Structure 1
Amino acid sequence: MSDNSQKKVIVGMSGGVDSSVSAYLLQQQGYHVEGLFMKNWEEDDDTEYCSAATDLADAQAVCDKLGIELHTVNFAAEYWDNVFELFLAEYKAGRTPNPDILCNKEIKFKAFLEFAAEDLGADYIATGHYVRRQDVDGKSRLLRGVDGNKDQSYFLYTLSHEQIAQSLFPVGELEKPEVRKIAEQLELVTARKKDSTGICFIGERKFTDFLARYLPAQPGPILSVDDGKPMGQHQGLMYHTLGQRKGLGIGGVKDGGEDPWYVVDKDVANNILYVAQGHEHPRLMSYGLIAQQLHWVDRQPLTAALRCVVKTRYRQADIPCTVTPLGEDRISVRFDEPVAAVTPGQSAVFYLGEVCLGGGIIEERLQE
Structure 2
Amino acid sequence: MIPKVDLKVVFTRLQEFKNEGKKILGIFPHSLIPDELIYAANAIPVRLILGGDEYAATKGTEYMTQATCPFARGCIGYFDQKVPIYTLIDGLVGGNFCNGDLIASEIITKFFNIPFLKVTFPTTTESFSLKFLQHEYIDFKEKLEQFTGSQITHEKLISTFDKYNTLREAFQKINLQIKNTTSSLKGDDLQNLMHRFLLLGPDEILQFINDLKIENVEQSNNKIPILLSGTGIALGDELIHFIEGFEAIVMINDTWSGIHFYREKLEHDPNDDPMATLAKHYLLKNESSRMVPNVRRLPRVLELIKEYNIKGVIDHILKFCDPYIADYKRFKESLQDAEIPVLQLERDYSTSLEQLKTRIGAFFEMIL
Bigger helix fraction: 2
TM-score range, shorter chain: under 0.3
TM-score by length of 1: 0.27
- Provide TM-score, normalisation by structure 2: 0.27
Per chain length, whose mean CA-contact separation is higher, i.e. which structure has more relative contact order (CA < 8 Å, sep 6+)?
Answer: 2
Structure having the larger proportion of residues in strand: 1
Determine which structure has more spread, i.e. the larger CA radius of gyration: 1
